[in-house]
Chain A
């Protein structure tokens, strides 16, 4: 029965409508830092190296197939949060930005080659990226009342980038789509290389 889904969507739309219409209510949110959500949400989207690497994670998940494809979006945010905590307590981690660019190259190549390593190896590559990614942003968390919404926006944006990758990766069911996905992998690897060498 899809009834509940429609109703849930309807209620959501309604809620947003009320929020949009009612300036007094928007105030309540702003006082408690709902504004942090937008900042947090935009944060991962503004770093192109992060964006391409996260999309690559989603794309690769499709090639890895079950169970990786659904373990990934569950575990990635947790590892990323761990990385964020490392960033906050300033655990010494060498050359974070290089690590991120490198992971974009590696992930891009994995997609381009449609590589299917054992799960533990894939988890290691993705996990390393997740730690670096979280670390880079963890240090920049605002120490304000809107830290909750910032963190939420940040995590949701990251998750949605994955889902974009997984969604685009689903094209790989068809031969032409598979080619397109692998081509995207090549592009990501090249872009990662550019970040790595400092061109971009």
Chain B
């Protein structure tokens, strides 16, 4: 890896940085990934500190595993439905205002992590660029979930709790509309 820069130089020094930023922002610009990560972040945040401490490492691990196995998956399936479903379930729990049992949040975090990881599989020209891209996606996704979880965790005032529920309800509504549309168009 330390010898790589010579290759990178040929096209200009900053090429790898471009791959890094593209990977970093991938979870933010792909709507389904964003939806799933926001929902899971809100869920573990509202489920309390213990859920965060369990959920974030599980999500990170699942994402890393999925991203790492990307080269082995020859035909990546469209993960949008899985992402929307994970978002729907997570956000629905937040909307009700209930506290989910820890094993449920852990499972959802794992599903969301795997789905995001498979969906964001790096499509770079070189192994080096793919590694950089995937690592950046992992960093961006985990950072996003951490921030959202912390916001959910700190939502102590009444209006803040309502705010998280409103946001969750928006996510549920979007996911329901999307999933219903997929269902309808597949049966026709």
Contact = CB atoms under 8 A, between A and B. Distances in A.
A and B touch in the complex (CB under 8 A): yes
Interface of A: 4, 8, 11, 15, 18-19, 22, 24-26, 28-29, 32-34, 36-37, 70, 73-75, 77-78, 80-82, 84-85, 88-89, 138, 141, 143, 145-149, 151-152, 154-156, 159
Contacts, number: 117
Contacts of A15: 25, 28
A18 B25 contact: yes
A4 B151 contact: yes
Given A81-B172, A155-B174, A25 B162 contact: no
Contacts of B154: 4
B181 A143 contact: yes
A41 to B, nearest CB: 12
Contacts of A8: 147, 151
B35 A152 contact: yes
Interface residues of B, number: 36
Contact of A32 (B31, B170, B177, B184): B31
Contact of A77 (B25, B173, B182, B184): B173
A74 B162 contact: yes
B35 A4 contact: no
A37 B154 CA distance: 29
Contacts of B29: 19, 25-26, 28-29, 32, 34
Contact of B30 (A11, A18, A29, A73): A29
A78 B169 contact: yes
A78 B180 contact: no
12 contacts: A24-B21, A25-B22, A34-B31, A77-B169, A77-B172, A81-B173, A84-B176, A88-B180, A141-B181, A148-B80, A151-B181, A154-B177
B170 A88 contact: no
Given A29-B29, A33-B31, A73-B166, A78 B80 contact: no
A89 B177 CA distance: 11
Contacts of B170: 77, 152, 155-156, 159
Contacts of B174: 81, 148, 151-152, 154-155
A138 B185 contact: no
A25 B80 contact: no
B27 to A, nearest CB: 10
Contacts of A155: 170, 173-174, 177
Interface in B117-154: 147, 150-151, 154
Interface in B5-49: 18, 21-22, 25-26, 28-32, 35
B60 interface: no
B21 A148 contact: no
